[in-house]
Amino acid sequence: MQKNTYVLSLGGSLIAPSPAGTLNTEYLARFRATLRPFLEDGHRFFIIAGGGKTARLYQNTLEELTSPPNDTLDWMGIYATHLNSHLIRMLFSEYAYPEIITSPFQEYHYGKEHQIIVSGGWHPGNSTDFVATSLAGENDVGFVLNLSNIQYAYTKDPDTYEDAEPIYDMTWEEFQELVGDEWTPGSSVPFDPAASRRAHDLGLEVRLLDGENLENFTQFLHTGEAEGTRIHP
């Protein structure tokens, strides 16, 4: 059986969805159970954890009490992703590399028993999506699976516009027209603009999947096909 390597950008909204930063233990249990059969079959995963509402909580507090520059807000969010990354690493302790990766370009030496490598944010100016695309490029993985609380990219913000329509397939040029060119700390977009440019340059494909629908995610791991938006060169 062919052993595959997957890069997962795991949205913080799935890990810590509440305004108080409370963790979604039910989801984390299902996520671990979903990956376990694939780990037992020898597949490898890079998991890049987002900050979720934990990051927003700390960023909002900073903004209420000080006037932080964007770099400071970004660092606060990055530290939240590192906390979530350690949690994911420990949940998969029997399979995971014993440290989190803090840069997609750092050297790390892992053995065949380390089937999961976990990372969080890297530096200001981008989100964990950028780390995911960079790790895919560094490890010759041709695509990134973006698991979040949305299933599709839309023509407009679906929370604001009733006539917003899902997009099933689009190029990077089309996606960049949709999300723009600027990264804002704490922003909520299907895939961040800096990561979009990076994925475009690397020739990567990204699949946007509803991370709550783990059956759909499992179908992709089995077949390479699932419901969601496909973004490609």
pTM of the entire predicted model: 0.94
> Which residues, including other chains, have CB under 8 Å from residue 223's CB and lie 6 or more apart?
none
pLDDT at 1: 54
pLDDT at 40: 96
In 3D space, the residue among 87, 131, 84, 128 whose CA is nearest the CA of residue 105 turns out to be 131
Cα–Cα dist 153/80, whole Å: 25
Domain count, the chain: 1
Q: Report yes or no: 52 and 80 within 8 Å, Cβ to Cβ.
A: yes
Q: Which residues of the chain have pLDDT under 50?
A: none
The position carrying tokens 């490890």 is: 139
Q: Report yes or no: 8 and 31 within 8 Å, Cβ to Cβ.
A: no
- Which sign does the torsion angle of CA 175, 179, 185, 191 carry? negative
**Eight-state DSSP code of residue 96:** B
Q: Which two three-digit tokens encode residue 179?
A: 């999300």
101: containing domain: 5-232
Q: Report which residue type is found at 99.
A: E
The CATH number that applies at residue 225 is: 3.40.1160.10
- Residue count of the chain, please give it: 233
Q: Report yes or no: 84 and 118 within 8 Å, Cβ to Cβ.
A: no
For the stretch 42-84, pLDDT in tens is: 999 999 999 999 999 999 999 999 999 999 999 999 999 999 9
pLDDT at 9: 96
pLDDT at 186: 58
Q: Strands, DSSP E only, in 19-156? A: 44-49, 116-119, 143-148, 153-154
